[in-house]
Amino acid sequence: RNVITIKPGQTVLHALEKMANDNISALIVTSTPNNIQGMFTERDYARRVALQGKSSSTLLIGQVMTPNVIAITQDISPEECMALMIEHHIRHLPVLDNGKLAGLISMGDVVKAVISEQEFEIKQLNGYITGLSA
């Protein structure tokens, strides 16, 4: 799917509407298509807006986004992604392709990929063991 982004000058309410409409939990904040300025997530909303009693209809994304986002390239393995996410306590990673925004992966995406790889390895090992004992 397309990467859903939001501009820092848009309201938190607009971001929440986008997230609800697209059934996603994070938006990449950009001023131009490939200029990542930050990330806005459900966690940012809970901690920086709702719990502080701020108004979603007037508060701007640039005021509550998480700046200094860690991004990855497409050649990073799922295990490396998981290590980065655990180390930095984050749940989303923007993906860059030749410096351009190509996607956004979540911890759920990474867990699915790791499980899939492990299932494949288990099947291969079972086949090897079964082939030896026959």
Mean pLDDT value across residues 1-13: 92
Tell me the percentage of the chain whose pLDDT exceeds 90. Answer: 75
Quick: pLDDT tens for 61-82.
999 999 999 999 999 999 999 9
- Please report the pLDDT score of residue 44 as a whole number: 96
For the full predicted model, state whether its pTM sits above 0.85. no
Tokens representing 59 are 């508060």
b vs e for 67-101, b when ≥16 Cβ sit within 10 Å of the residue's Cβ? eebebbeeeeebeebeeebeeeebbbbbbbeeeeb
